[in-house]
Structure 1
Amino acid sequence: MTEKKLIPLAINGGIGFGAKLTPKQLIALGTYLDEDTEIELTTFQQLIIQVSEEKVETAKDELEAVGFSVYKVGPYVKSLRTCNFCQGADEEGMPVAIELNKRIAGQEVPFTLRPAYTGCPNACGEPLINDIGVIKRLEHYELYVGGQAKGEDARAAVLLKDKLEPDQLYDLVDAVLEVYRKNGRKRERLAKFIDRYGFENLKKEVRIS
């Protein structure tokens, strides 16, 4: 008998008030799991499941129908890690976080890239220790790049640009990803890419004076 090829999928409950799942979602998820199946819970608010290759598209449709977001696993931009929006959706910019995630999650990059967002300077979403970090400050947004949470070269991200409007934020993140995609080496993390490429060179490429 030919062994079934399994495809990993990363799923989460979408961007909202904290990392929450509903019974309806758990029931839908259970239809793709055997009794002894292990599910990996990542630090990025995602569950990693294994689905047989011929069921991938059906699984994606059915899981998305109950409110899950489904992403590829590998060298892609991960879904946006967020804070709990404890002061409210509008005040902390949930619509901006949702739109940013929609634009960048799943993009192919040289190495798995972790973006994070937080709706106030308390930075509960840990944007400063992730590859790309966004902080909402009053009515504007700050974009940080090159954070790294682990390893001997762990570091905080560096401010690339502040006082951004939402459209400026989206465009700047897209520009950073494009520079990284074109110039980064295979399996080169964004922080190491910035070290090699040069922070000032990155600013020039994305047209920040």
Structure 2
Amino acid sequence: MTKKYIPMAVNGGIGFGAKLKPKQLAVLGKYLDEDTEIEFTTLQQLIVQIPEAELEEAQRTFDEVGLHYYKVGKYVKNLRTCNFCKGEEEEGMPVAKELNRRIAGQEVPFTLKPAYTGCPIGCGEPLINDIGVMKDKDTFELYIGGKSKGSDARTGKLVKSNLHPEELYELVERILDLYRENSKKRENFYRFVDRLGIENIKQEIHID
């Protein structure tokens, strides 16, 4: 009988760059056939194919060793981050972790890529992703509608600056709700932003 496989996006969680521990790699190998190919994406994820019959067991084992896993397809991807050159609190790591916890895995009309960086240098490339967050001193800036590829690549548009963490989380959730409720079928997020216009979006999510 032919095995059925389920694709999963796996990483070591939100931290100081994209890293995996030996015990995490060993666990991944337990569920992969010898000739299985593993894709490493620009979103700091490994795309692995897990046998459907072993999926629940694999997820429990991943939890035990600290591997994070996400659905593949039309979902909010995990937060792309920079390498965070200073300490956890100073570079806003707790906010990045909480934002990822709240939005990663949410179903959306088309694959959506969020990014975060802990300082204005922008190593996490927040300005060229669908949703970008940049820490500036003690507050955060939120950008939307960036595009990293193609001849029409461009930076995102500023939604609001001087945001405190709870304000940031709430605004991102409102934007995702607006996208789900008003997008056309399989409409990329940057096209959605272009079609509605940044000022209309600000009005819809109640920003002055």
TM norm structure 2: 0.98
Aligned to 1:118: 117
1:106 corresponds to 2:73: no
Gaps of 5+ in 2: none
1:81 alignment partner, SS class: coil
- Alpha-carbon deviations, 1:138-178, whole Å to 9, x = none? 00000000001012321111100000000000000000000
The answer to whether the Cα contact below 8 Å between 2:115 and 2:124 also exists between their aligned partners in 1 is yes
| Residue 186 of structure 1, CA deviation | 2.4
Q: How many residue pairs end up in the alignment?
A: 208
Give the Cα–Cα distance (whole angstroms) in 2 for the partners of residues 201 and 58 of structure 1: 46
1:39 corresponds to 2:38: yes
Aligned to 1:86: 85
In structure 1, what residue type is equivalent to 2:23? K
Aligned to 2:68: 69
What is the aligned-residue RMSD (CA, Å)? 0.8
The answer to whether the Cα contact below 8 Å between 2:129 and 2:146 also exists between their aligned partners in 1 is yes
1:82 alignment partner, SS class: coil
Aligned to 1:25: 24
2:32 alignment partner, SS class: coil
Aligned to 2:159: 160
- Alpha-carbon deviations, 1:36-57, whole Å to 9, x = none? 1100000000000011212212
- Alpha-carbon deviations, 1:95-127, whole Å to 9, x = none? 000000000000000100000000000000000
- Map 1:48-63 to 2 at 5 A: 48-63=47-62
In structure 2, what residue type is equivalent to 1:124? C
| Residue 84 of structure 1, CA deviation | 1.2
- Give aligned-pair identity as a percent: 63
Give the Cα–Cα distance (whole angstroms) in 1 for the partners of residues 53 and 180 of structure 2: 30
Give the Cα–Cα distance (whole angstroms) in 2 for the partners of residues 168 and 47 of structure 1: 31
Give the Cα–Cα distance (whole angstroms) in 2 for the partners of residues 57 and 107 of structure 1: 20
Moved beyond 6 Å, runs of 4+ = none
TM norm structure 1: 0.97
Aligned to 1:12: 11
- Alpha-carbon deviations, 1:8-44, whole Å to 9, x = none? 0000000111111100101001001111110000000
